Structure 1
Amino acid sequence: MSIANAARTRYTTKAYDPNRKVPANIMEELQTLLRYSPSSVNSQPWHHVIAASDEGKARIAKATQDGYAYNEAKILNASHVVVLCARTDLDAAHLKAVLNQEDLDGRYATPEGKAGQGNVRSSYVNLHRYDRKDLQHWMEKQVYLALGTLLLGAAASGVDATPIEGFDFHRLDEELGLRERGFTSVVIVSLGYRSEDDFNAKLPKSRLPAEDIFTFL
């Protein structure tokens, strides 16, 4: 399947077949997509929690209680559920870990090159921390880059998906112990295969005309 065709045919799945599971090799590929997603200055300000067991999915589904019950079945009946999280801070330890990994991966020919990249990355972090004062929002934007990569990759792999913002962030963070580890939940993605009862699968996809969304210079 071409990438364009995957984009044209994917949709937000509303009901899953609980008896169909995403094969392990496909899940490994989707995890690779998440790991290699782009982020501003390669900051990688994320962490992902993946649930495949009924117990794990039930823990995540607790966050749909009290106002978000319409999303509970999409989590419980999916094959796998991914909680995409943002860091609560881009501290010196994380920035050092990223820089050292880049060095191990052979990105720097000289110590000066490594130091220069570290200074550039820190300057962007400080720009958002002190000047624009939107560091958390900036980190969450990087998580949404990973979200888009995952959704398109799932579609290209023949896997149905549902991005979910309708959940109690505080409850999920508490249930998974995220904030103590320096993370906070941003968006949930259910992965699996649609049920025959999924009404959305039968509806035509709708987008605004190309002339309304593109300007060519």
Structure 2
Amino acid sequence: MGRPTKPILSRDRICTSALAIVDEEGLAELSMRKLARSLGVQISSLYEHVKTKDDVLHEVANTIMASVDVSGFETGDWRHGVASWARSYRAALAAHPNIVPFLAYGPAHREASLRRADTVHGGLVAGGWAPRYATMIGASTKYLVVGAAMSSFAGGFDDDIQVYVDRYPHLAGAYRLRERADEIDQDSFELALDMFLDGLTALHARVAASAEDSERS
């Protein structure tokens, strides 16, 4: 029998299997040996496509970041751009929370991440922000999004009312939080994002006024 015309492995198939392991078992549980088993190939075959576990994770991260929408900056409205980017960014990470710690380290050499960082930075500068502020806004948005995507605030409470009765009078209703975790976490993220954007809008006006004063003096 001749050799198959198409390779058994592909980058997409490797990424899909690796992400499934991370989603189901956690980041620490991914190994090249386990990945090879899940793909039904010898580990030597896997090494022909990717050299290390980090290479695999970068491929997976690149795939996830490719789904993040930064097209809002095309409108020329920096506030709309940040808002739509942050929401899309959170949705992409929240779908795969186990890999967020790896993504949190930064874009490294990942094409999808760098392209989005470039678009965000360019959109902010075009919107009147100085490059240094654009960098800090990008970083601050990442802090907000990554924190929201890594865990659930509401889901972290116990649903047993006896935990709170008598001992924690101000948390008498906390046992209800877990059942409404998705709603509360979403609304909390939107509140934080709105406050963040309102603060940036006020800062933008002050920076612009300061620049005008400098030009007149």
Q: Same fold (TM over 0.5)?
A: no
Say which one has the larger Rg: 2
Judging by fraction of residues, say which structure has more helix: 2
The TM-score with structure 2 as length reference comes to 0.23
The TM-score with structure 1 as length reference comes to 0.23
